[in-house]
A and B are shown apart, each in its own frame.
Chain A
């Protein structure tokens, strides 16, 4: 029997967003007997609804409502209203993600102490250590079925991986394997094993890849304590005279404005929408937006140092066959400033189909230089760079002065400039990617620029001191005790690792904290 809570029930926890953070938090709280309403902006598709077609899937799942961009990043030039490729649907970006599940490294949680002051960068140590998170990381890996952890076997290597591995071996890299992936290598948790279908980014039609859509959410619903309301677009969060949040105002699927009361509100709408919501919730008591006494809401936006390298070989590769990303070289993720930059990066296999290759190989490119690359497609292998970019205060999400959504509220504007450390890291990574492929016979290689960001982080960051960030080590707002942030916007720094595992880990821990605080009546 699925729960349905009254709008005036002020004992519920309201979570905004149903992805890695919101979906996991919702289930974890529901399992502990806490009543939860998840408000999700997107529709509910089941995994049988996914389509193995890049543009059709994009139209189905992606957040396509306009956003604004500014800054010197190439995304602002080529995709001015699409700074991010993330999802608007139940399950959030866990429907689209590739499944790469890596723990952030111990020294990365202490980025300021380890790297020292870097000019122009707003580095800060996390208020939590890797050691404190390890028990929760383990639970997350178990929950998600991450391969090569907890005794779970790795996925087999596809053609794209074989090329990466051969090149990595030639260069002397020591840590190259098919990844720690939240994709079933065997049937597990009542879900199929991976059939190497090659459309991971378009939603896994087998349910083999972990997504809150068909794991956390139905498990939470089965307790009778979790209600998910799709097509519910939250406009602002309300508070009382004392500054405690009291509920949220949202537009429902019929376009009518509704108000859901809440004992606690958790914002998990991703690093663009979460700060936007806090800023759009400004009031006479909080003229700069909710939870923003530090001025850091929206700031320190990070998107990881990314980019791709594709190599073309004499013989076919058919890189699109099989998992999109089960392959990794981890050696460069170390801290080694002798390379000319702080922080490190991972190299991960990546493939795109013809439609997306045309869109992202060289945005704006044309002519025979471009088409000869497209003609090389069957003989291409590809990889993606994921590296730690520097938090900068001026890289930020603000409210657009000009563009409004269909309900009349200002949309997010994303400003980003690369830091010199980011550029040095990216150039190094391009070089290493080229060397990997040339060492095993690539006749031609291309660097591609960063795509619209799939990793969006840092805009409501954790800090020990309230002046330095938005939330404490439990994701609780410094300014407002019953307001939490539960998505990747909590990240103090980005590390070199794909963020989803850490988001899930923090949500498991946050649920424990919230339940404890509720039962001790502290909130």
Chain B
């Protein structure tokens, strides 16, 4: 019904439509809006995900947590959203898991203060909170799966200079397996 963005000038979204304005100063919390259907949408980057098991605001927090746990400044938000998607599916399939994620995020927001985790605009402040909860099962339930769900996305491998599958290209025997020339 109404969007939950954290602020920023000139944004309004009554009723069923979602408007979004992204400037370089507007943080993730404002860049990702929640549609009337409960989906998370980033209009500028043109991606959106359905949210089925968790509260949309909870999912949004988990996506930001995912970046804060594994921050890469060249990896766009959409890859963190994809990485975090399985949390929603697990929550939809199991009420106990849903409760664990909802409570974990609620506790994190309580630690953060009235503006919540999403309202903490400096990474350092958010990471300080993560260190405080790092020994909890909730933190591990978020961190653990990200190792695969983030880094196993083929689209981001070029950012790390990793070329992936090789056999179909004839291996590296003619593609620079020994091209190092600076020693």
A-side interface residues toward B, CB under 8 Å?
Answer: 52-53, 55, 156-159, 162-163, 166, 194-199, 205-206, 315-318, 320-322, 353-355, 357-359, 364, 366-368, 370-371, 374-375, 377-378, 440
Contact = CB atoms under 8 A, between A and B. Distances in A.
Interface stretch (B2-10, B25-33, B49-57, B68-76): B68-76
B122 interface: no
Contacts of B183: 162-163, 166, 440
A interface, over-half SS? loop
B177 A205 contact: no
28 contacts: A52-B166, A52-B168, A53-B164, A53-B165, A158-B172, A162-B183, A166-B183, A195-B171, A196-B177, A197-B166, A205-B167, A206-B171, A318-B161, A321-B175, A322-B172, A353-B162, A354-B162, A355-B152, A357-B151, A358-B147, A358-B148, A358-B150, A359-B151, A366-B143, A367-B71, A371-B71, A374-B151, A375-B72
Contacts of A375: 72, 74, 160
Interface of B: 69-72, 74, 127, 130, 134, 143, 147-148, 150-152, 157, 160-168, 170-173, 175-180, 182-183
Given A166-B183, A322-B172, A198 B71 contact: no
A166 B180 CA distance: 12
Identify whether the interface residues of B are mostly helix, strand, loop, or mixed: loop
Nearest to B156: A354
B178 A377 contact: no
B148 A55 contact: yes
A67 B177 CA distance: 38
A324 B160 CA distance: 18
Nearest to A363: B147
A159 B180 contact: yes
Contacts of A53: 164-165
A214 to B, nearest CB: 16
Given A196-B171, A368-B71, A321 B176 contact: yes
Contacts of B130: 367
A198 B172 contact: yes
A195 B173 contact: yes
Nearest to A315: B182
A117 to B, nearest CB: 42
A163 B180 contact: yes
B120 to A, nearest CB: 16
B157 to A, nearest CB: 5
Contacts of A322: 171-173, 177-178
Given A366-B69, A368-B71, A162 B180 contact: yes
B166 A198 contact: yes
Contacts of A166: 183
Given A321-B175, A322-B177, A378 B161 contact: yes
B162 A377 contact: yes
A159 B179 contact: yes
A355, A359, A368 interface centre (most CB from chain B within 10 Å): A355
Contact of A321 (B72, B74, B172): B172
